[in-house]
Amino acid sequence: MTEKTKSIYTLKQIETPRLIIRPVRLGDEIEINKAINNSLEILQKWQPWAKDPSIDATRTFVQRGMFSWESGCIKDFPMVVIHKQDKRIIGASGYNDRSDPDDGLYEIGYWCDVDYQGQGLVTEYANALTRFAFDVLSAHKVVISMQIENKKSSAVAIRLNFSNEGTIDRDSVDCTPKHLAQHYIYSTNNIKKLPALDYSWSSDKSKPSGFHIINWAKDILKITDNKAFAMSQAITKTPWSHVFEINTGNEVFYLKKIPEMFSKEAKFIQFLEKNSNASLPQIIAENSKLNCFLMKNAGQTLRETLNQNFSEELVFRTIDQFTCLQNDMANHVNTLLRMGVPDYRLEKMPDLYTQLIQQKNLLKACSLSEIEIKKLSDLTSTVSKLCKKLAEFQIIETIVQPDFNDNNTLVDETNQRITIIDLGEIVISHPFFSLINFLYQMKKHHGLSEEDDLYHRLKAACFNNYQPYFTSDRDFEDALATSKIVNIVYGLVDQDRFIRACGIDNLIKHEYWKLTDLLKTFMATCKNNT
């Protein structure tokens, strides 16, 4: 593929007077699915994929589409169409997988929400995509095809002055039932024939961000089945983690890229696995230069499993896995610190808090007033007292997974094996912090309250290993209450680490900016507990 044709993968967006056309992104599935279901009757008449209008099917479309864009090699370029005035996704378009950038051939597909049909919008964005193909991608030919009975779709090609090349038989998978498997082929090789249109486009030269790591994974896994490879998916894309599901045709693997500050995740996992009995991700390969690694598939998330069929036994096994891991790692704290695991032990916490609140520009970026900043500074002594009080219970500090929850736990459907994931952000600190988060997430996502019998049993399972440290239930509840407040401090300093790892702008852009809320929560909590 030439540098000219590779420019398709760097596309940021195309803009017309009324529309924005851009590559699909994770999260688009919600609005796309609304448009699909609003237009279901007509879509099911012409589009085979519309047989399944579920959000899961739409999410798969988005995840596979985003993987195509990230890959820098798969020849399928799905885009969403956004109505500028209404600020909503009104359909999908792009160049489909019959396109061949190496040969200068691009085939446009499209559909539009029925509420926006009859306004010339489809013609507008198909015109823009045609122009972009010739102006930027060195296209020799642009094609539009549709079932011969689909008069509305044909009318778009006719309005664009495409030439009718005749008909072609398509496989039945490309045609809805009870319709002929025969399509019109319209094409153009002359941009001058298009109706006039004011359009512009922009690119992001940093894209495709996944190109190098995806091709590294493809080489490591020796993938030759390109059809199966095209079924791979982008699972998450955040400033702190890019995860791709790689389909080899025989097996599924997961590829993870992290910021440099978290890049030792694979080494941490291998050490934890070697020195504990916990079930952890199986690392296939790692690339320290690209800050990424490959791991075996370990099943679906525990949260998905519980939402389908709630199993107390799986939850209790998850707690047991993690608390055993913490117990095992208590004997290896010094080694983990030497490996680069951050030191957030209670004795270090006051200094970490002080370092945070001394960043005046950061606090102002959190929209805090001078009075609030002073309050946070005045709370430094409170942080020291709380940490000292919690330390007096002499609970051995060990690894903390800051976001231990049922969504960072995988369950193998065949053998019910539990696997703890997302361990790149582990620190050495008080073990209660992970367990507090786990219980909070169980309440939040599974409708539990602190009055429920199940919640009490989960709580007992989480802290059972630590009961010998306490002479009474009152002492335990006192330690737990104190740890919940100190956990907010831990959250603050951990957010500071995220900011340094990912950058403020990236976090704000991703709408992941918890620092302001945590700072205000900490002030309010201290006030209420004075």
**What pLDDT sits at residue 511?**
66
Flag whether pLDDT at 404 surpasses 60: yes
The pLDDT of residue 234: 96
Residue 527: exposed, middle, or buried by beta-carbon count in 10 A (0-12, 13-18, 19+)? exposed
Assign 260 a pLDDT band (cuts: 50, 70, 90): very high
**Where is pLDDT greater, at 4 or 324?**
324
Q: What is the C-alpha separation between 245 and 314, in angstroms, rounded? A: 24
pLDDT at 4 over 70: no
Res 415: pLDDT: 92
pLDDT (0 to 100) of residue 172: 55
Query: Which amino acid is present at 314?
Result: L
The number of residues in the chain equals: 530
When pLDDT is cut at 50, 70 and 90, the band that residue 35 belongs to is very high
What tokens appear for 460 in the block? 């007992």
- pTM of the complete model: 0.91
pLDDT tens by residue, 419-464? 999 999 999 999 999 999 999 999 999 999 999 999 999 999 999 9
Q: Do domains 211-296 and 300-528 have the same CATH topology?
A: no
Lowest mean pLDDT among 88-102, 183-197, 479-493, 497-511: 497-511
Provide the 10 A C-beta neighbour count for residue 63: 21
CATH assignment, 300-528:
3.90.1200.10
Amino acid type, 96: N
- What are the boundaries of each domain within the chain? 3-203, 211-296, 300-528
Q: Give every CB contact of residue 291 below 8 A, 6+ residues apart in sequence.
A: 257, 258, 259, 260, 263
- Mean pLDDT across 351-371: 93
- Residue spans of alpha helices (H) in 112-194: 121-135, 151-159
- For residue 445, give every residue at least 6 positions away whose Cβ sits within 8 Å of its Cβ, in sequence order, or none: 303, 406, 407
Kindly list the distances between the CA atom of residue 33 and the CA atoms of 18, 40, 88, 328, 451, in Å, as whole numbers in the listed order: 22, 10, 12, 46, 38
Q: Examine the pLDDT at 510 and tell me if it is beyond 80.
A: no
- The widest CA-to-CA distance across the chain, in whole angstroms, is 86
Rounded CA separation 217/497 (Å): 28
pLDDT of residue 3: 59
Residue 509: its pLDDT value, please?
72
> 76-133, pLDDT tens digit by residue?
999 999 999 999 999 999 999 999 998 999 999 999 999 999 999 999 999 999 999 9
Average pLDDT over residues 274-279: 93
Percent share of the chain, pLDDT over 70: 95
The CATH class given to the 3-203 domain equals alpha beta
State mean pLDDT over 275-287: 95
Under the banding of pLDDT at 50, 70 and 90, the label for residue 399 is very high
Residue 395, phi then psi, degrees to nearest 5 = -75, 130
Tell which wins on pLDDT, 208 or 296.
Answer: 296
Quickly state the pLDDT bin for 490 (edges 50, 70, 90). Answer: very high
Instruction: Tell me the CATH number for domain 211-296.
Output: 3.30.200.20
For 461-476, what is the mean pLDDT?
Answer: 94
Contact, 192 vs 135, CB < 8 A?
A: no
Mean pLDDT, the chain, rounded, equals 93
Q: Say if residue 135's pLDDT is above 80.
A: yes
Per-residue pLDDT band for 58 (boundaries 50, 70, 90) equals very high
pLDDT greater at residue 188 or residue 511: 188
Weakest mean pLDDT among 102-106, 142-146, 170-174: 170-174
